[in-house]
Amino acid sequence: MTAIPERLQESVDPVPGRRTLPRHVAFIMDGNGRWAKARGLPRTEGHRRGLEALRETVRHAGELGIEFMTIYSFSSENWNRPETEVNFLMGLLRRFLQRDLSELHKANIHIRVVGERNDLEPGIRRLLEEAEAITRHNSGMTLVVAFNYGGRNELVRAAQRLAAQVASGAIEADDIDENAMAAALDTAGIPDPDLLIRTSGELRLSNFLLWQSAYTEFHFTPVYWPDFDASCFDAALEDYYGRDRRYGGLTAQVR
């Protein structure tokens, strides 16, 4: 049987057949614009309703006992959208952090942000860092916010970090293995997703968690994100429970 990578070992249930809750669920929250178009509404209304769906999903994940939830909130490619839409999305982010942060903090949720920060507008970067600082010691669910994030960019930056360590003499090139690579990523210390849910019927990763999703189970639903609710989440979990996770081997790790 193929050995399970060290970073995945904690997610394997030692009791075959037991319905084990996934530790980490990731979301590609897709379809806000199409939801609005189907109703004759502006795209901005789709994004506003999508934020409401996010609030409900975070709440439900916490109630279920999910340990980590990652959301693809804004990709590095999203800057190519019309300026008015980008500005609206930035405004939604500000409102989410300013209005919802206290509730998330009360719920004992720990916020962690992944993605490129160096070229962000200072006010946005300050809000993201403040959210992390305020919730740093919370011991409940970790909400990972992928903002200005691209999987390929993350891999490039991780390679640059490792190359710099080799150049400085801190490590040898032969020291670079899967665990070293995982530790150089934005998601260092976070277990890989057990389940990734994408809404709106699209069947692709869209540059999201490329390294981390090597052994992730995928659930694709035609439901647009603004309509995603607790029952949709539960349906995705039921689908997940029926999977056999072999990690390349022949002996199934049944969830």
With CA atoms as reference, report the closest residue to 208 among 10, 29, 21.
29
204 is in an annotated binding site: yes
81 annotated as a binding-site residue: yes
Q: Is 62 annotated as a binding residue?
A: no
Using CA atoms, how far apart are residues 35 and 45, in angstroms rounded to an integer? 9
47 is in an annotated binding site: yes
Q: Is residue 85 part of an annotated ligand binding site? A: no
Using CA atoms, how far apart are residues 50 and 56, in angstroms rounded to an integer?
10
CA–CA distance, 141 with 3 (Å, rounded to integer): 29
Q: How many residues does the chain have?
A: 255
User: Binding residue per annotation — 255?
Assistant: no
In whole angstroms, how far apart are CA 71 and each of 31, 56, 100, 144, 198?
Answer: 14, 13, 15, 6, 10
Rounded to 5°, the CA angle 231-199-65 comes to 45
Residue 33, annotated ligand binder? yes
Q: Is 179 an active-site residue?
A: no
Q: Tell me if 211 is assigned to a ligand binding site.
A: no
Q: 205 a known binding residue? A: yes
Q: Which amino acid is at 15?
A: V
Closest by alpha carbon to 151, among 71, 205, 203, 197?
Answer: 205
The answer to the question of whether 239 is labelled as a binding residue is no
* 246 assigned to a ligand binding site: no
Residue of 30, 186, 192, 194 marked active site: 30
Report, in angstroms and rounded to the nearest whole number, the Rg of the chain calculated over CA atoms.
19
Q: Per the residue annotation, which of 13, 78, 227, 229 is the catalytic one?
A: 78
Whether residue 78 lies in the annotated active site: yes
Residue ranges of the alpha helices (H) in the chain? 32-38, 43-64, 83-106, 122-135, 151-168, 178-184, 230-241
Cα–Cα nearest to 228, from 26, 30, 45? 30
Residue 8 tokens read as 């995945």
Q: Is 65 annotated as a binding residue?
A: no
Tell me: is residue 217 an annotated ligand-binding position: yes
Q: Which residues contact 123 (CB under 8 A, 6 or more apart)?
A: 94
Give the residue numbers marked as catalytic. Answer: 30, 78
Binding residues for Mg(2+): 30, 217
Binding residues for substrate: 31-35, 43, 47, 75-77, 79, 81, 198, 204-206
Binding residues: 30-35, 43, 47, 75-77, 79, 81, 198, 204-206, 217
